[in-house]
Structure formats: C-alpha cells, structure tokens
Structure 1
Amino acid sequence: MANIQGVKLWLLGLITTLFFFSSCSEKKQEKKFTIGFSQCVGSDLWRETMLEEMKMELSLRSGTNFIYKDANNSSKKQIEQVEELVDNHIDLLIISPNEASPLTDIVEKVYNKGIPVIVLDRKTSSSQYTAYVGAGNYQVGKMAGQYITKLLKGNGKVVEILGLPGSSPAMERDKGFSEELSKSPGIKLAAQVYGNWVARSTLQELEKNKEKILQSDAIFAHNDVMAASAKDFLRHHKASEHIKVIGVDALPGPGGGLQLISEGKISASVLYPTGGKEAISIAFKVLNKEPFSKENILQSLVIDSSLVQLMKLQWAKVSSQQRDIERQQTMLSDQLEIYDNQKLVLNFIVITLVLAVIFGGLAFFSLLENRKINKSLEQKNVQILDQRNKLIDASAKIEEATEAKLNFFTNISHEFRTPLTLILSPLEDLLESDKIQSGEKRELTMIQKNAYRLLKLINELIDYRKIEHQKFHVQPTSNNVQSFMNEIIESFRYGALKKDIALKFSFPKHDIVANFDVNILEKVILNLLSNALKFTPAHGRIHVNLTTEDNNFIISVADNGSGMNQEELQQVWDQFYQSNTSESRGSGLGLSLTRELVHLHGGSIEVQSRKWQGSTFTVTMPCGEPIDSKLSPVSADDRSFSLTEQVKVYITEELPAENRQIDPIGEYIKEYSVLIIEDNLDLLNYLQEKFSVNYEVFTATTGNQGLHEAFEKIPDIIVSDVIIPGMSGKEIAKKLKTDLRTSHIPLILLTAQASPEQQIEGINSMADLYMTKPFHFDFLQANVRNLLANRMLLKEHYISDISSGAEKKSTLSVLDKKFLNDFAGIVEHHLGNETLNVEDLAKMIGISRIQLYRKVKALLDCSITDYILNRRLKKATYLLTNEDYSISEIAFKIGISSPTYFSTLFKGKYGMSPSEFKKKQNN
C-alpha cells in the first residue's frame, strides 16, 4: 500500500508539472484598456476625420476596447453619454465638448473619480482635466491674416465669414485675424458675416451683404465648408476670378479642403489638425504611466496650390498603409486562431498520453498489491466471523439482561403504587375530616396533588416501557364511540368548572360503532384532554369534535390556550421534551406516549398550533370490520369506577392552587423584603406563605415579570427557579448583577439540575447561592438570613470618614464598589452647594430618585439626607484640624449658610462646639 501511495504522489507531481509548463508556455498578454470617446457631433467631415485618425492609431495598439458616443450637438445628451461610459468602467475618457460651461461639471466629476480625462479641440471652463489636445485657433486666424496680407501685397478689401456667434473657435480665430490685419493699414476689413459653420447659412448671409462681398479682394472663411459656399456665391455672380477665397481645415478626402484647393474652388486653406492621432497617443502615455504634457497645442500651416498635391499624396500613402495594416491584422488574427486550436489539440494529446502512462502504471501496481490485499482480507474474514459469533452470543445475553431490567423496572414501578396508595387513601380521609384547619388543609391538598402527579408519571413510564419492548397488546372490542367519548368528557367537567373553562362536545346524530381497545383509546383521550386543560387559561374554552370519514372516526381536541411556535411544534412528539417557555410543564412523556398508543392501534395523530392562539390535536382511528370479541366485557360499574380513578389522577394535578388570604390589617411592616420567582404555583404559594412570616414578599411567575419586579421593588434578596418561562434564572442573575440598580441584591437559584457541571454554571452566572431540589425550607431560610447579615457588615464602612484609612473587608461586587465610590465622589464634589438634594444626585448618577434611595438604603443603611449631612460634618472636622479657616468660612465651604446652625449641628454630633473642637485639636 505504501508503494502505491508513493507512485500516486509521483504521478500527481508529474501531471502538475506538465500543466505548469503548459500554462507557462502561454504568451504573456498585454494589459487591455477601455477608452471611451464622447464626440459633440460626428456628422461633419472634420470630426469624421478626427475619428478616422483615432482608429488608425488604435489599429497599431491591439487589445484596446474603444467605445464611441456621438452626442449630435446636444450638451444634455453628451452628459448622459459620459455617465454611461463611466458605468461601463472605462479606464480613460476622451471628450470633445459641445459647449464649455455645460460640460464642465461632468468632466470635473469624472476627473475627481480618478479616471483620466483628455479634452480634445475645445476646452471646458475648468482646469480639472488630465490633458488638452487641440490646435490654436488664435494662431489659425493669425496665419490666415499673414497669408492674405502677402497675397494682396498690403492693399485691398477683405471679408471675414465667422462661425457660430459666441463660440470660442470663432472668437479666437477672429482675434488672431484682426490683429494681423491691423499691422497693414492698406488692408481694410470690408465686412463680417456669420455662416454658423454650414453652407446654407453662409449663402443667406452673403446675399444680405452682396455689394460688400462683390467689391472685396479676398474672403477669409473660418472653415472650408463656408469657403466653398463663398466660392459658389462668387461664381453665381460671375465675380470669382479676382476674389481670393481662403478657408480653414484642409481636410483630405472627398469634399475636403485639399480637394477644393486641387480643383481650384478655393485659393488656400489653413490646416486645422483634428488631434485624433495625438489624443490616442497621449492616452496611452497616461495609461502606461509615461511622461506627458498637460497642454498639447498642435501646429498648423497654410496650404495652397503649391502644396496641395504633396499633401494629397501623403494622405493617400497613409490611407494605403492603414488598409495594409488592417489586412495584416485580419490575417494575424486568423493565424492566431489556428495556432490556438492546434495548441489545444496538442495539449489534449499530450495529456491523454500522460494519463495512459499513469493508468497503466496504476494498473500494474494495483495488480501486485491486490494479491497482498486478498491474503489480508482472508485473514480478516476469519476474524470477522469469529467476532460475529461472539456478538450473537453477547446479543442474546444483552436481550436477557434487558428483559430482566424491564421486569425489574415494571416490578419496582408497581411497588411505587403501594406506598402511593397508602399516602393517598389516608390523605383523602384527612381532607374529608372537619377537624382539619384551613392552613393544614392547604398543605394536605398540595401533598395530594403531587402524589397524584407522581402516580401519573409512574403509569406513563410503565406504559412507555411496555411499548418500547413490545409488551403492549391491542385487544379491540366493539363500542359506541359517542358514549365512550361522552363518559370521559363528563369526567373532566369538574376540572373545567374549577378553572371556569367552557368544555364542549360535538358529534353526529347517528351512532358511530367502531372496534378499538378501550384502555388504549382511553389513555389517548385522557392525555389530550388533560393537556388542553393544562394549557388553557381561566375563562378559556375546549372543544372536542367527533366525525367520520372513509371508514375512520376522527376525534379533534381544540383549545384557545398558549399554543406553540414552529420550534416547539417540531419537537412536541419528542421523548422528555419540555418547552422552557410553557406556562405549565410536565414530564415530557405524555404526548410522545399518546402518539405511540395511536400508532399501536393503527391510527394517526396530527397537531396544528399558533402561538397564543391555541392548539388542535386530531386523532384518526380506523373503525374496523365487525368482530366477535371473546373478551369478557367490563361491567358498567367497574368501567365507571376505573375511569373515575384515572381521571382523578389527571384532574387533581391541574386543579388551581388555593391562595392563602392575607389580612392586610394583621400584617405589619417587615424590615426586609424578598422576591420569589417561581412558575410552579404550589411551590410559589408554599414559599410565599413561609417567608411572609418574617419578610415582605413579592412574587413573579415568569422571568420577564421577575426582572420587572426586581427593578421596580428593589428587594433585599431574590429567590428564583432556574427553569422558568420567558427567561431562565441564570439569565436573570446576569442581568441583575450587571445593572447598577440591582447589582447589590443577593440572589439564590433553586434547581433540579444537580450535576457538578450545572452547579458550577449556576455560580458562574453570578448567583450568590445555588441550591438543588429537594431542599429543606429551614436550610433555605438560614441561607437567606446569612446573606442579609453579610450585607449588613458592609454598610458601616461606606457611611465613612473621608480620610479613613481603615482596611475594607468588602465582598461587594465591582459594580457596587464603583457605585459607592462614584456616589461618595459626587457628594464630596458638591458639598459646598447648600441646595444639593436627592433629585440632583439622581440626575448626576443617571437613575430615578426612588431607585437611588433604595440602593443607598440597601448598601449604607441610611437615608441620602443623613449621608450628606454626615459627610459635611466629617469634612468640617478635617478643615478645623488641618486648615486655618474661620468658623463661618468652614460652614460656607461645607454648604451650610448659617454659622449658628452649623455650630448646633456640630455640637449635636460631637458634643462640643466647632471652636472647642479646634482648640482641643491644636492643644
């Protein structure tokens, strides 16, 4: 086996190595970028050329994702498109703004997000961008002016056709042009018209200024489109020979400025570079973290008939090279695809060959090892057979022992019944006696209830053990279901009446005759009715309904009690399950036993429940075929007596406890108070009655109610059960001990959880004492007295002298020590305030006046007013001994405005006046 494992590891390493080299042989791919381009308008030739130049430059940089957006002369649309580009996670934005001001905010927003922004052609109103690319419009106008001055030899009339009014290119070109013409006095600017950059507007404006145009010597148009329109206008009026027309742009291609010059339609054009190539070049410098210039002004020149052919040839050459590059890229892409496919096939072949070698090696080694394994398996089979025989013998012995245990358990359970009978029978005689006083009768009734409860538990355990070991035999007889059910329900009337619960039974008019075991079904109905009675509050209702369906009779028991949540519903049939939040808890066997009894009889049981809205248990039992029972029928009298005895077991346990009536006139104010938190009403009433002799008693039946009572009443000690509805006793202990208002109160936890681990957990929950049930009341009362006495030993120190250095013998919690230190510090700090009162101190500490009073009383055994006065007089003794103040000054410093009143108080406490005290100390 070790050899096979070694071979497997070696082969696994071989495969890993092959895959590693295969992945390393891949060419390292360049990082891909996404560039977004927002164009204000893409319909004119100049901007089409800009986009074409960008695509030419991008064709030399493979792997770049280029997203183009055309705003069609709409600033609003361009803003939306830029936001859309940002949502597409672009790495860089190139924008040619439609208008400066409207686009400024969105450019700043993108730039501030950390996305580089290159502004192309037109700037925004802000300097927050990465780079600017564009020609100088001022320089373009200046060059046009120089060319016309030279062309006219310093004399003549000139007409200027401007672009859109207010646009920055038009204004800058006009400025450069006008400044240059101003240098030649012989040249006059005859007229200025706005062509709005388009042909149609240009023709209309020229017609309006016809006379000035036809008398001019040269025309300067701000772009080639308007220049061509001006030439058409002159040709139409037969004045095109002597008037020179100069445009701007000098674009290549059909309809461009170069073609217009070549065909003689215009005399010259000032080159206005688009900057598309330069924008892409700078974009890659930015993305690759290379040096670049923020302001990139493109150079220009004037192209006339002497240069136009050269420029056209250069553009044709560039276009041809671009087409060659695109064709080569297509071919390269095809070759790469072929290469990838071939590489995939080759990798597959190599991996297949390697796997073949691996599996061949594994098969060879497996063949060798299988022989060894077969020999080992033969030896193990012999051992397993031997162990199997031993297990069969052990099982027989275990079954025999189990049978003996069951018999012992059954016998001992039956033995329990004898002493219980001897307890219950004399109890009933005593309860019927007229000589028993009311207090004794309450205690005897409590004994009776718990004796019946113990009897019920014993009966359930015996039945459950019988079912587990298949000792429970079904003996069906033919019976009238209505009469059977009515008899049981009538037996529960007394219990329902005692709790003021409406018990209703509904059944069909025709008789329902079915075959069932009377004892089994009786236990089922008793358990369900007992359960409904237990969880239905006073003044509630229980509805039992009997129906038939498909040769089955169906019994449903519905109540409007506390109900169950989903978590409780999922565990309701589990053995020994008890809900911690239930108002009343049992052994956890009843419902589990009920389901087993129903299944034993071939029926089914279901439950539907909603929290605080009640529960409905539905039992479906087969009616069965008519049978001739050989069993001797039970007489009506015997049946009635047996049912009465069984119902008494179920009913007596659930009867409400008799509350002792306390005469408020006979009660006197007790020195200490105790809060008892217990959900078992019998135990609660018992403890209340016992403690009420010496203590003022407060009670609560749920955790939440107990916590509220503790905060409200601030008792001197608390006694709580561990498992109670709403909140466990351990949770209550943690909350009380970590709250400033109640941290000083001793807490005793009572529980049936008696294991050392559970007791340690109880002490760790910050409880002062953890007592297990059953307990002796005198022992509990002695512990209560002891805890209260220990608290009294701590109080004297904290009514203390300021400078007292006495050693603390404190067992107070850290929270109580902090409270007392904070309280003393606040009082000391405000001693000079003669209006200091309880309300002020409560606000400073952050609790109510009543809670502060009770806590100080519990910890210091004095009122707050007495404590403040004592501290003032103690401080006065310190000042009289150690400081050189007058009596009036000392009285003022300790918050007493009247020196006479101060002297009276001082003498009352120390038996001498302040002057006498000071003189005595100095001597």
Structure 2
Amino acid sequence: MLEEMKMELSLHPGADFIYADADGSSDKQVNQVEKMLDKGIDLLIISPNEARPLTKIVEQAYNKGVPVIVIDRKTASSLYTAYVGADNYQLGLMAGTYVGASLKGNVNLLEIMGLPGSSPAIERDRGFEDGIRRYKNIRIISKVYGNWLKKDAEDQLVKINNLLPGVNAVFAHNDVMGGGAREVFDRQGLPRTTKIIGIDALPGPGGGLQMVSEKVLDASLLYPTGGKEAITTAFHILNKESFEREHILQSLVIDSTNVQLMKMQWSRISNQQKDIEKQKGLLEEQEAVYNSQQVVLNIIIITLVLAIILGGLAFYFLMENRKINKSLEVKNTEILEQRNQLMEMSVLAEAATEAKLNFFTNISHEFRTPLTLMLSPIEELFQNEKIIAIAGRQLKMVHQNIYRLLRLVNQLIDYRRVEYDKQQLLVSENDLVEFLRDIVESFKHHAGKLKIELKFSHAEKEIKSWFDVNMLDKVFFNLLSNAIKFSPEKGQIRIHIRKDESQVYIDVADSGVGLSPDEEIKIFDQFYQVEHHKGQGSGIGLSLSKEIVQLHGGTIDVHSQKWKGTTFTVTLPLGAQQFNEQQKSNIPLSHDEISEKSKIYQADLERIGNLELNEAFGTPKEYSLLLAEDNAELLSYLKEKLSEQYDIYTAANGNAALNEAFEKVPDLIIADVMMPGITGKLLVEKLKSDVRTSHIPVILLTAQASMEQQIDGLKSMADMYIIKPFNFAYLLANVQNLIRNRLKLKEHFSSDISGDMDKLPYSKNLDKKFVNDFSGIVEQNLSNEHFNVDDICKIIGISRVQLYRKVKALMGCSITDYILNRRLKKAKHLLINENYTIAEITYMIGFSNPNYFATVFKAKYDCTPSEFKKNKFH
C-alpha cells in the first residue's frame, strides 16, 4: 500500500507526505493522528487498526473540517469523507466459494481469523460462512484468532495441535498467518495434502505471490491495497473535484494457474516505476543547471542595464545641475515674496478664528436663556400632581434633557475660556476636605436611589490648599457623575483624600465597567467617548477637567482594569507658589451653591423607568415591529408609542437586532444608524441578503442629515431614511404605508404563483428567487403523498418557523393551504385536458384516497371531480 502511494505521489511533486506506523497498537495510532491534526494537515488517510477504538479520533478529524479517507478497514461510524478498499465480506464469500468448488469429499476446515473486533476480520468471517453454507461437505472444526501476525497464528495452532491431523483445509485471513500455518503443519510432520488459502497476494519477497509460487499456499485472494486509488481520491477532494465516496476495489483468486502471470506484471510495474524515478532525477538535474544559467544571464543583463542607466543619469544630472543653479536665484526671490504673503494671511486667519470663537461663545451664551425659560415652567409643572399622573414620564424626560443641554453649553463655554482665552484662576485658601465632603453629599441622594454605596474618607480632618472654588468643583462633579453613571447597581464608589509634604492626592475609585488599555490612553482626548456606554455624552468633560487641573499646577491620572473598575487620581500642589498675586482672592466656600451647581451634572443619573406594558393577557396584534436603538430613553419612547398598534420586539445593539430579526421575523424593522456592534447600514445589508429576512421593510433613523449620507443610507437597501429629530406622526405614517404596500405585494404573490414571475411588481431579486424555488419544490412533489413542510425546510435550508413566516409574509397564506390549492389546481387541469380516471388523478396529485380527494375537491369547487369532468366546468 505504501509503495503504491509513493508511486502515485511521484506524479504530484508539490505534496508533503507524512507517514506513521502504529505497529498494531490502536492507542499509538490515536496519538499519531492527534499529532498530525496539531500540525495542521490538509487531509488524513487512515487504515484503522481496530474499528471502535479509532472511531472517535476519525470523527474528531472529520468534524474539524479535515477530509478523512478510510482505507482498507472501516470504523464503527459513517463520519468520513471517502472509503477506499476491498469488500471484505465479498473476499470471504469468494474464499468460501473457491474452497467449496475445489475440494471434494468431506472437508474438515480450520479458520484462522484476524484481530478480534477489527472490521476486516468480522466481515471476512461472515462472508466465508455464507460462501460455504451451500456446500454440505464442508465443516469448520475450529476458529482461532491470529491477530494478523504469523507468530500469534502459530501459537494458537500449537494449542490445538490435537485437531490438526484431521484438518484437510485451512482458510487464513491473510497470507502471513497462512504461511505460519504451513510451518506448523510441516513441524508436526503432517502431509502437504492440506489445502491452505490466504488473502492479500502481495508481491515481493515473502509476499503472498511468492508463497503461492513456492506452494507454501495453495491459493490466495488478491486484496488490492488501494494505495494508488487513495492518493487519486485525495487529490480529487483537495482540488474540489467529484469523487467516489465508497471506492470498492475488485479482487480475484490467485493459484498455480495464474501466479506466474501476476508476478511478471508486478515485476514490469516495478521496473517502470524505477525508470520514472530515474527520469525524474535527470529532469531535476537539468532544471538545476537551467536555473543556474538563468541566474548568471540575469546578472549580466542587469549589470549592463544598470551601467547604461547610471551613465545616462550622470549626464542628465550634470545638465540638470546647471539648470537648477540658474533657477535657484529666481526661486529665492519667489520664496521671500511668499513668506511676506503668508505673514499677512496668518494675521487675517487669526482675526477670522477669533471672530468664529467669539460667535461660538456668544451663541452658547444665548442658549442659556431659552433653556432657563424651559426649565422653570417644567419645574412648576412637576408641582401639579394631575399633570404628573398624566405625563410624568414625558416631563421627566424633557427635564433631564434640558439639564443635559445646559451642562453641555456650560462645558463648551468653559472649554472656550480655558483652551483659547487662557482664563486666569481666582484662587483662595480653603479646606479641601470640607469642599469635597459638600460635593459628595450632593450626589448621595442619586447614588442611594441607584443602590450605589458612595463613601468619602480622609486621612486628616483638615487640608488647607489654594484653588479656584468655581473651577475645581467642575472636575469633581464630572468625576463623580461618571463614576455613578458607569457603576452597576449595588456598586461601590470611594473618594479618598491624603497628602504628603508638598502635594495632596484625591482618588475617585468605582467598581464599574472599567476601561481597556486603548480607552485608558484616549480617555482625556477631546470629544472621545467610550463605546460600550449607552448614556449620552459629549466627550468634553474629562478633557476640560484635565485643563482645569493643569491650570492649578496639578495632574490627573487614570488607572483601570476592564470590568473591574476605574480610579482617577487628582494631584494638586500644596501652597500658593504657583499662583501670582492677581490670581489670589478671598472667595469663600458656599455649601448651597455647590448643591445647586451639582444638579446639572446629575441629569444623566436620573434613570427614567421603562413603562411596563402588561401584554401577557392582551390580544396579539396583527403586525409586529423590531426596534433597534442604543439610546434606552428613545427606545422606551418608541416602544410605548408604537405598542398601541403593533407587537414590539426591542434590541439595544446591531448584533442583538440581527439575531432578533432571524428569530422573530417581524413585519417591519426600525433601526438607528449608529449602534454598538454592527451599524444600522450593515444590519440592513445583512438582512436584505438573507433569504429569511430579505422581505422585511427597514426604516433607518439617523442624525446624519447631509444629502450624501441620505443617499448612502438608501444604497444600503433601506426602505426609508428618516432624520432625527423626527415627528412621530411622520414615522407612524411611514410604518403604516410600508406595511400596506407589503400587503399589496402579498396579493400579487398569492394570486397565482405558477404565473409569469418576471411580471410580478416586486423589486427584491432574492424574494423572487425564494418564491420560484418554493413553488418549484411544491410542483415537483405534488404526487408525493408523504411530502410535508419538513421536506421543504431541508431542501431550502431554513427552519420551520422561518419558512412559515417567510411564506406568510410574501404569499399571505399558510404552507399547507398553498400545497392543497396547487394540488387541486393541478387536478382541475388534468380533469379538463387529460384522459385519466379519477383514481389515477388522485394518486398523481398526492392524495392517498379517492373518496378523500372527492370530499376536498367538492369543498373547493362545489362539485365532485366526476361532475366537474362531465360538465368541463372550470
């Protein structure tokens, strides 16, 4: 087998062939296969030592995607790519037939079997018994296991030497054991009249062919090794070509009549292989000579080309150098003129930038007035219990977002002052411990509502330091707000202050989601926001905090571990040496002012509870919607408004939305463009390219308002592209319109699927293909009375639920109704146009009983099939 493999592999010089011999040990063979799989082989050829012990590792390789060719012997499983080998049952049957036909008179037969449990031994024994069953003169007096080995076979025969004189025929499962049997018989002095038949007929010294030729064996059944066929099949598999999964090799009986012919054929094949290898070696030598000559020739050509190029370049640069020297004087003059122009433009640019910044600051100031005018009436409405009962959630949402806008405006103004105006601090000496205690106290109410433990500790009762009260509080407002925002329920936040001889350190530590190393590096960058947080933010707060701390001559650092919490450390110098006299003042701490200012930073901490819609005992709606939005408040708002008319499914990110769409198959999907995981546009592309969801209309919501962005959204195959902020009535009207249009398409699809599909007014090619495939499968199986929904699912490759919803969405009917209607329509056609009997038509359209067919036909067309055929009614 190995020689045949090497012969065939000589025609494939690029293949790397790894070979291992298990020496008859199943455990060793399992370890060898495991090592080969770890190396990353492309294909495994295995001859299992035993069936069951090797089944698990063969299945493991097959399940990993590695093609497996089982050769010679099978495993106890069908999980393999191909089998190459002889039919061991057929070999046993041929051996039994040969013994019965060639031996006359009463035959006492001894059978020497292979390894217990191996598939060849089992199948050869079964085939042999079937082969001799019709010969009444043959009796098997004993069976022994030789384990495929000569010595083991001899040992077993010695144990039953008292039976050997009466044996006049031996069937050995291979030639090696047959040869061992002959030696035992000779040592016992028994005459050579005992016929010994083996299996394998291998060529070469000591092989079965030589044993038959030397009359050690009377006959041997050729067991084709299959080495050549295994390699051929392997390359068919690797090259993605068709191959035969069960390659059964043919056999024949070799005895004294044909043994010399077989030996001559093998000798000829061996000589041809040696000639091939010799020619291959000569070709390799010629190729090496050719390659070396080619390298020398290439070097000579490259040298000549480089010499010509370098000579040309030298002449060219000489000429260019003269031109450059002449033009340098002209360029120097131009550069001086351009420098003067740039200086003038720089002055103008600074003026323009200053104007823009002034406008930016002024418009930010203008935002404060309308925000204040909105905030005061909203807070008055909170005092009215009747209004709170009717619209409490909506008022809380408006109130929360007003504070968010106010904080954003304040941060933008502060950022402008610090970054561009280089605002001067007004510092005063105050107690940092008392200052931080007031700030922590202002957040304790919200922390308690969220079941977050907020604890303030200090190493000393009082720590005097110089700082700007109206600027430094923004740093700790922001740090505490973020800590609460990113902490889970029942989390912990620790604020600790300590000092040494020259500096004071304030740690703000939380047990929240933490930061990855990449996020930790970027956290103080302008407008950077962590991706996993669903709350709103601008990305200004920490950048502004860093600027304020640096104005105080201090630093702010972060230390975090993903999913284990974050610690921000603010370091401030003690004393006032870093401030000049103009920056010093006597501004005292104001407890009430700190509490009032903290409200702006607590807006994001107010978690508005979702409206619980108790639909457990409600009536299911006719249509369902899937809402995909990462903003929890907007998601809750849309769910509350749309749940009055539709069943609502929700998803907080793109990946969850995709899974929900595949599982629930809603009638329409509303998705945000920017979401964690996959974006809204990518979600649409995946939905529209999958046969399970390609029919579902999708509305994209986005803040990207430019015309190019809208066009890009529609190119992603979205059905609508609505810009935020949007009018809910407009959104609802579009939802109703898309569902209404979908109903019209259903009517077209369900009217008569067998018509011309190209004329259907539908634009989705994937849905056309689905309907074509579905109707074609039904038409091909109308005569099959056992045809059901599971058969369609297997052919198309989707689940029952997805198939039901897809057919219902596109065709407006159930699968069972559609199949029944198609059968009755075909019956109607056959009754009108063909000359079949009612019984024949019954079975042609998949009904098992003519009476049942007549009942269903009459229920559909108000007449029996016989009456219909008689009147030609349609």
TM-score bracket relative to the smaller structure = 0.5 to 0.7
What is the alpha-carbon distance in structure 2 between the residues aligned to residue 529 and residue 371 of structure 1?
66
Query: Aligned AA for 1:767?
Result: A
Distance 1:922 1:512, change over 3 A: closer
Distance 1:630 1:550, change over 3 A: closer
TM-aligned CA deviation for residue 774 of structure 1: 0.8
Per mean C-alpha deviation after superposition, the further-off stretch among 794-803 and 737-746 is 794-803
TM-aligned CA deviation for residue 384 of structure 1: 4.0
On the 8 A contact 1:537/1:561 being kept in 2, the answer is: yes
**For 1:430-445, what aligned pairs fall within 5 Å after superposition?**
430-445=381-396
1:830: which partner in 2?
A: 781
Distance 1:676 1:370, change over 3 A: closer
On the 8 A contact 1:551/1:623 being kept in 2, the answer is: yes
What is the alpha-carbon distance in structure 1 between the residues aligned to residue 284 and residue 391 of structure 2?
99
TM-aligned CA deviation for residue 803 of structure 1: 4.4
**For 1:401-420, what aligned pairs fall within 5 Å after superposition?**
401-420=352-371
User: Among 558, 561, 570, which residue is 1:607 paired with?
Assistant: 558
What are the superposed Cα offsets for residues 638-697 of structure 1, whole Å, 9 maximum, x if unpaired?
x33332232111112231122213233673221001111111111111101110110011
**For 1:11-410, what aligned pairs fall within 5 Å after superposition?**
372-373=326-327, 375-376=329-330, 380-381=332-333, 383-410=334-361
What is the alpha-carbon distance in structure 1 between the residues aligned to residue 818 and residue 325 of structure 2?
95
TM-aligned CA deviation for residue 615 of structure 1: 2.2
Distance 1:817 1:374, change over 3 A: closer
Question: Structure 2: 5+ residue runs without aligned partners?
Answer: 1-277, 287-302
Question: Does residue 857 of structure 2 align to residue 903 of structure 1?
Answer: no
Question: Does residue 838 of structure 2 align to residue 884 of structure 1?
Answer: no
Per mean C-alpha deviation after superposition, the further-off stretch among 907-916 and 708-717 is 907-916
Distance 1:546 1:801, change over 3 A: same
What are the superposed Cα offsets for residues 123-144 of structure 1, whole Å, 9 maximum, x if unpaired?
xxxxxxxxxxxxxxxxxxxxxx
TM-aligned CA deviation for residue 371 of structure 1: 6.4
SS in 1 for 2:509: strand
What is the alpha-carbon distance in structure 1 between the residues aligned to residue 676 and residue 430 of structure 2?
42
**For 1:505-544, what aligned pairs fall within 5 Å after superposition?**
505-544=456-495
Question: Does residue 822 of structure 2 align to residue 871 of structure 1?
Answer: yes
What is the alpha-carbon distance in structure 2 between the residues aligned to residue 477 and residue 797 of structure 1?
80
On the 8 A contact 1:717/1:745 being kept in 2, the answer is: yes
What is the alpha-carbon distance in structure 1 between the residues aligned to residue 419 and residue 705 of structure 2?
28
Report the identity percentage: 51
1:449: which partner in 2?
A: 400
SS in 2 for 1:749: strand
On the 8 A contact 2:667/2:696 being kept in 1, the answer is: yes
1:646: which partner in 2?
A: 597
Distance 1:828 1:370, change over 3 A: closer
TM-aligned CA deviation for residue 362 of structure 1: 11
User: Among 635, 640, 645, which residue is 1:684 paired with?
Assistant: 635
What are the superposed Cα offsets for residues 7-65 of structure 1, whole Å, 9 maximum, x if unpaired?
xxxxxxxxxxxxxxxxxxxxxxxxxxxxxxxxxxxxxxxxxxxxxxxxxxxxxxxxxxx
What is the alpha-carbon distance in structure 2 between the residues aligned to residue 365 and residue 795 of structure 1?
79
On the 8 A contact 2:485/2:605 being kept in 1, the answer is: yes
1:797: which partner in 2?
A: 748
Query: Aligned AA for 1:542?
Result: I
On the 8 A contact 1:498/1:656 being kept in 2, the answer is: no
What is the alpha-carbon distance in structure 2 between the residues aligned to residue 363 and residue 877 of structure 1?
92
1:843: which partner in 2?
A: 794
1:465: which partner in 2?
A: 416
Query: Aligned AA for 1:717?
Result: L
On the 8 A contact 1:543/1:557 being kept in 2, the answer is: yes
On the 8 A contact 2:424/2:583 being kept in 1, the answer is: no
SS in 2 for 1:726: coil
What is the alpha-carbon distance in structure 2 between the residues aligned to residue 363 and residue 675 of structure 1?
70
Query: Aligned AA for 1:621?
Result: L
Query: Aligned AA for 2:468?
Result: D
SS in 2 for 1:907: helix
**For 1:365-764, what aligned pairs fall within 5 Å after superposition?**
372-373=326-327, 375-376=329-330, 380-381=332-333, 383-625=334-576, 633-634=586-587, 639-664=590-615, 667-764=618-715
TM-aligned CA deviation for residue 427 of structure 1: 0.2
Distance 1:374 1:915, change over 3 A: closer
What is the alpha-carbon distance in structure 1 between the residues aligned to residue 325 and residue 691 of structure 2?
77
2:99: which partner in 1?
A: none
Query: Aligned AA for 1:716?
Result: D
Query: Aligned AA for 2:659?
Result: H
Query: Aligned AA for 1:414?
Result: H
Distance 1:645 1:802, change over 3 A: closer
What is the alpha-carbon distance in structure 1 between the residues aligned to residue 639 and residue 790 of structure 2?
35
TM-aligned CA deviation for residue 825 of structure 1: 1.7
Q: TM-score, normalised by structure 2?
A: 0.61
What is the alpha-carbon distance in structure 1 between the residues aligned to residue 797 and residue 319 of structure 2?
81
TM-aligned CA deviation for residue 579 of structure 1: 3.8
Rg comparison, structure with higher value? 1
SS in 2 for 1:615: strand
What is the alpha-carbon distance in structure 2 between the residues aligned to residue 367 and residue 766 of structure 1?
59
TM-aligned CA deviation for residue 403 of structure 1: 2.9
CA RMSD of superposed structures (Å): 3.3
SS in 1 for 2:385: coil
On the 8 A contact 2:408/2:538 being kept in 1, the answer is: yes
What is the alpha-carbon distance in structure 1 between the residues aligned to residue 600 and residue 363 of structure 2?
20
SS in 1 for 2:722: strand
On the 8 A contact 2:415/2:544 being kept in 1, the answer is: yes
What is the alpha-carbon distance in structure 2 between the residues aligned to residue 827 and residue 557 of structure 1?
68
SS in 1 for 2:613: coil
How many residue pairs were aligned?
575
1:295: which partner in 2?
A: none
